[in-house]
Structure 1
């Protein structure tokens, strides 16, 4: 439940809002102890909508299984398509898709730890680098693949976008320093960046309007959960998620063998060697082979790459590049043994059986965790976190949202709110310095309070104040201040007061959404026109 409680709370908020007819979710009113935290503004939500929509048809647990399985299947499809475009080999593409999708680190993200943002992002990594390959080395007319890949990554996990962008810059510099790059390729690269901005720009508007200069406490820039290279090797050969070594933050047996011996097979192919080197370097960088602890005291390093927080996040990208090498090695070995399509088909069939067997072996600790517990989650207190030894089923699922999430509860609080988090999470209303109880109702992106006062009263409400926060008293817009605990503070006159505290997105946000919609329609229209043109020709 390390990260899953955070993401499932977000998905439940979207579901509750959709039930009440609200398409957009900006702040948390139903979950996260009703603090109004705006992690929906600063953390992508697009791919949580399918999970929320599944709730209208299936029970919550079934919805999660379907959603996780859906992205596992989509990873297979995108990986297959990407390798087929890259290598033109159906056999190699099939092998690559199986290897990449079933890497233990991928299963750790989706099945063991519930790191759903990064799990979804993993799906689209092949598209990003296929697109970059075409822009810099391949078919330069396929520049749109890079835009689509980066856009989907933006809709999944911002830190994955950060790492992918950094790697793209490194590869671009390698291209510039070693080979001449044509003006046409540079133009297509700029076109790709421009279209990405059109498609995903709305996702970053809240950072401009509600984050920059707004005293928001972002996740700390620090290097945590450091694993040694020996841990990576031993954990990989253990080949399980949730095992004693690294919990599954590993490459698995096949990719670790590829890391050790791959150079022998790829040394005569420039592009294959480049992929192998990238995968190997990223795998090494994910461990304490680099002295991350010392680098954490370097301001420059923290400000540039400290955002990734956990160096093991590089394993997603290491897995991608090493899976390319592994598929190449298997392809060359089989190609050297037989030219028969029938025999290659048998190899593929055998590889599928091995992959399925390996998959169930890899996730066995996760299955044992589910079947071996009988302690069901009950209703929690506001500041209580979810214990690791509890079972959640369709009957007690809503109990998950009665307490605090195991991680991320205070992400994107203001810095003042972080200092007073306990009282905010407890829902403490302060009137003239004293605790006050009142009626409180929850709506999509808005909370309503009924407060009766017998004199002029300063009221500090337990809801975080952001740049876009709005307040109404008795139906009329009302000015507010930010309290010492980073929450909404208002001065009420004597009498009955009905206070609405909500959030209003900026015009720029909706404007960029319209731009995205128009861009999608133009691209679809152009695609349909090209298809019809080719058919007529």
Structure 2
């Protein structure tokens, strides 16, 4: 009987926690609307770029290119940015026919996943129930998520933030548990691969730091190294579906990658970090919020009470915070770490590490009380402070560009599909495009050393150009050349060549020429996805077998 009662109480607690997290998810995501009730985005830095990504997933299972977007030039953005985990946003768009509403709904779900996953991982790392819940709320309501969702519209980064707790759990299980386990780190890193490439770099940096800490403490042995190698190997196998096609494009075509910034100049000034965090200011530059400043002060006054793994998370949380500022010698590491673009991205990992340290301190403090009512009251007060702090930030966001003013779904769709001109539009175009870029955007054909307007018929999967040539000559089609391009001339497939400006080079026949251009996944891409899917099935089989063996024993 006692076992059944215990199970019922456990189920009841889980249901209550899930309901609590659902409520918090809707507290976190506020659906801003205009005076007519349409969902709007208040601030937008990379919005058009990422909305283009989402809308272009219409034909992703048939082709990596959608000719309706990115100026119709055939850019392979979906091979350079992971798309698997953002595909549900496209499905929500198809369901609602409103890309902004789909955006808010998607991130309501992602906020719930972040809360649940952070709680689960914290519990696995020996946090108390209330401590784990506090870590989940602190991290999910951190300024890094608020800035990325409401201000920067950095979809991939928010997904990366969602899975950092799983990476931290993997680090804990490999470096701190008596018997190292590699599954959690594998899952965490694989989910990052399919979320955000830069987040993979940041997580690798975190793993490396924990590795060095444990080397200094002489805790690295063969078992731990083997577990780390297993996690690395399986992550590569599971991630091949995205990684190899991306590498194929980077090797085959000299692509215009996103801007490389001077890391020292892009880093936060220490006084800016402190002042913006205290004022709870949300902007395109990531900082902490006011709650985190209070949290840091409390941690500083209780350093002696923090031990073991939590002391290491506090240490690295402090280091990552320093690294986000000009206090760190970024000039020395410019060539090594320029890929992260902005040092303040490290605030995301610092937010997790500091929240985890504080959760442990909070858990130990409330456990000293023998009165459950007082524990819950203190927990409830803390949660209320976090939520109210977030509401203050939302109020600030709501006043951007005036109340009820913002970008609607209709405006986004129009801007990304007709004459687009937004930040990042040509981030992955060939570098050789140069001065011809505007002509390619205008969808003109270059023949006989001049650019000509042509008849165009376009769908998501293909584009058809019709041009009457006065003579036989060569021409540039206004579609960028990448591996996987298929060109048919007057119904017959022809050999694809790259023009000197990175576009598609063809031979014109005298008279009417009809070119049909499309893209297919390369053999390497198909093989990569096959290997990743087989690896996933094998991993699932291994986990099921392992669980059955444990239950049998």
Do the structures match in fold with TM over 0.5?
yes
Paired residues of 1:259 and 1:280 also in contact (CA < 8 A) = no
What is the rounded CA distance, in whole Å, between the counterparts of 2:65 and 2:339 in structure 1? 23
- Does residue 462 of structure 2 align to residue 423 of structure 1? no
SS in 2 for 1:467: coil
Q: Which residue of 2 aligns with 1:491?
A: 507
Q: Which residue of 1 aligns with 2:92?
A: 54
Q: Which residue of 2 aligns with 1:393?
A: 408
Q: Which residue of 1 aligns with 2:366?
A: 334
What is the rounded CA distance, in whole Å, between the counterparts of 1:110 and 1:25 in structure 2? 28
What is the rounded CA distance, in whole Å, between the counterparts of 1:177 and 1:347 in structure 2? 38
- Does residue 301 of structure 2 align to residue 264 of structure 1? yes
Of residues 113, 120, 129, the one that matches 2:152 is: 113
What is the rounded CA distance, in whole Å, between the counterparts of 1:163 and 1:2 in structure 2? 22
Paired residues of 2:291 and 2:386 also in contact (CA < 8 A) = no
Paired residues of 2:63 and 2:521 also in contact (CA < 8 A) = no
Going from structure 1 to structure 2, the CA distance change for 1:515 and 1:66 (only over 3 Å counts) comes to same
Give me the TM-score of the superposition, normalised by structure 2.
0.86
Going from structure 1 to structure 2, the CA distance change for 1:124 and 1:313 (only over 3 Å counts) comes to same
Q: CA deviation at 1:417?
A: 1.5
Of residues 440, 464, 468, the one that matches 1:448 is: 464
Matches for 1:499-510 after TM superposition, within 5 Å: 499-510=515-526
1:424-460 C-alpha deviation (Å, 9 max, x unpaired) = 2222322212221222222334322122223213221
What is the rounded CA distance, in whole Å, between the counterparts of 2:377 and 2:63 in structure 1? 50
Q: Which moved more, 1:275-284 or 1:494-503?
A: 494-503
What is the rounded CA distance, in whole Å, between the counterparts of 2:252 and 2:525 in structure 1? 18
Q: CA deviation at 1:466?
A: 1.6
Q: Which moved more, 1:492-501 or 1:123-132?
A: 492-501
1:50-106 C-alpha deviation (Å, 9 max, x unpaired) = 111111211222111101211111111111111111024111000000000101121
What is the rounded CA distance, in whole Å, between the counterparts of 1:423 and 1:225 in structure 2? 33
1:504-524 C-alpha deviation (Å, 9 max, x unpaired) = 322222112112222222232
Q: Which residue of 2 aligns with 1:29?
A: 67
Residue correspondences, number? 505
What is the rounded CA distance, in whole Å, between the counterparts of 2:496 and 2:275 in structure 1? 57
Give me the TM-score of the superposition, normalised by structure 1.
0.88
Q: CA deviation at 1:214?
A: 2.6
- Does residue 320 of structure 2 align to residue 282 of structure 1? yes
Matches for 1:103-182 after TM superposition, within 5 Å: 103-138=142-177, 140-182=179-221
Paired residues of 2:127 and 2:359 also in contact (CA < 8 A) = no
What is the rounded CA distance, in whole Å, between the counterparts of 2:190 and 2:67 in structure 1? 28
Paired residues of 2:180 and 2:223 also in contact (CA < 8 A) = no
Q: Which residue of 1 aligns with 2:255?
A: 216
1:154-180 C-alpha deviation (Å, 9 max, x unpaired) = 111101101211221222122123223
What is the rounded CA distance, in whole Å, between the counterparts of 1:417 and 1:140 in structure 2? 54
What is the rounded CA distance, in whole Å, between the counterparts of 1:248 and 1:55 in structure 2? 29
1:2-46 C-alpha deviation (Å, 9 max, x unpaired) = 11211111101113x2xxxx5254234111111111121111111
What RMSD over aligned residues (CA atoms) do the two structures have, in Å?
Answer: 2.2
What is the rounded CA distance, in whole Å, between the counterparts of 2:385 and 2:295 in structure 1? 17
Paired residues of 1:287 and 1:312 also in contact (CA < 8 A) = yes
What is the rounded CA distance, in whole Å, between the counterparts of 1:88 and 1:230 in structure 2? 33
- Does residue 403 of structure 2 align to residue 372 of structure 1? yes
What is the rounded CA distance, in whole Å, between the counterparts of 1:406 and 1:82 in structure 2? 39
SS in 2 for 1:429: strand
Paired residues of 1:32 and 1:405 also in contact (CA < 8 A) = no
Q: CA deviation at 1:406?
A: 3.1
Q: Which residue of 2 aligns with 1:383?
A: none
- Does residue 54 of structure 2 align to residue 11 of structure 1? yes
Q: Which residue of 1 aligns with 2:282?
A: 241
For structure 2, list consecutive stretches of 5 or more residues without a partner in the other structure.
Answer: 1-43
